[in-house]
Amino acid sequence: MTVDDRNSGSGASEHPTPHHVVDHTVQPNNDPLAIRLEQLILGAERRYTAFQAARTAGVSVELASRFWRAMGFADIGQAKALTEADVLALRRLAGLVEAGLLSEPMAVQVARSTGQTTARLADWQIDSFLEGLTEPPEPGMTRTEVTYPLVELLLPELEEFLIYVWRRQLAAATSRVVQAIDDDEMAERRLAVGFADLVGFTRLTRRLEEEELGELVEAFETTAADLVAAHGGRLIKTLGDEVLFSADDAGTAAEIALRLIETMSHDETMPALRVGIAFGTVTTRMGDVFGTTVNLASRLTSIAPRDAVLVDGALAEELCRTGDAPASEIQAAEDAARAEKEGEEPPRYRFALQPMWQRPVRGLGVVEPWLLSRRPAG
């Protein structure tokens, strides 16, 4: 079994780095605490080679290798590195294929998506969570002396919470699917896609200490994730100095973008932010988004002014269609005058749109961006 090469094909691709590959090392581990921790977490001791696990699960070594690689694990050779849980997982996945519930490629995708997601989660929990909690509470104690009882207490709670969040996310995703008009709509959906990017981040990496930089990135990602979720969007991925989000409608995406700018600009520790949003057909796969709309949103972000939001013509048109923004200030004035003359309430527009200069964008032709702003109340 060898490490699987995994690539994302969206406009903002994400290539797993070596620390995302979990290695059941071939070398024997003689550290008693490390062995005890592994057995505690895995729930069993290592007893099978790859060949033995495949044979015990009743699957071919080739299929077992495909599942193993898809989950992101390294070559284990002839070492006894697998447990009863590994055998059971192989048997379950293979059983889904044999029962016709999943095709073999789909079962491999299940393994890959689960492996990639949980690898990132495990890295975060170890790097940011356990590391801080296992500081020796008393002089003379080692971190390893604190780790085992802490993991023993946290493991069942974190496991239950993981299952709870997964079920919640699965319910939300299923709801979006059943509300779609047809299967084609789910394969290629019309969404608003936005990128939010910290300005001058590369210069910051040279100036700030590693700890300060890490705190800044964490604060940015946390704030962005909270705002996106609170206002009805979906966070697709975080890329350190950039976040990618989507929304089902243009108004939601516009509100998220302006909230991001407004919130970050009031934080003196944060660099300036720029946001680009495009609206159109998007291909979704394994929680990621792909296609020309994603690429356009990325390009708009790169040319957006500091602390400003640029949108494409399609999103501007959608905001006008839904009554969230006037086509022009002249139209807004005419609508207000007409409403006043007829004794009616004038239209309440949330956003304002200002056409910007046209410019050629490599691979996308000539683009005419619009500057999005919040329309004053009253």
pLDDT tens series, the chain, 378 aa: 433 333 334 444 333 333 333 444 434 455 677 788 888 888 888 999 989 999 999 999 888 888 988 888 877 888 888 999 999 999 999 999 999 999 998 898 888 888 888 888 888 787 766 666 666 666 776 766 777 888 888 889 989 999 999 899 888 878 766 765 555 544 567 899 999 999 988 787 777 787 788 888 888 988 999 999 999 899 998 888 899 999 999 999 999 999 999 999 888 888 899 999 999 999 887 778 889 999 999 999 999 999 999 999 999 999 999 999 998 888 878 887 887 788 788 788 899 999 998 888 777 888 889 999 998 765
Distances from the Cα of 155 to the Cα of 43, 148, 270, 280, angstroms: 11, 10, 35, 43
- If 0-12 CB within 10 Å is exposed, 13-18 middle and 19+ buried, where does residue 75 land? middle
Beta bridge partners of 359: 367
The answer for residues whose C-beta is within 8 angstroms of residue 272's C-beta and 6 or more apart is: 198, 199, 200, 264, 265, 306, 307
In this prediction the pTM is 0.67
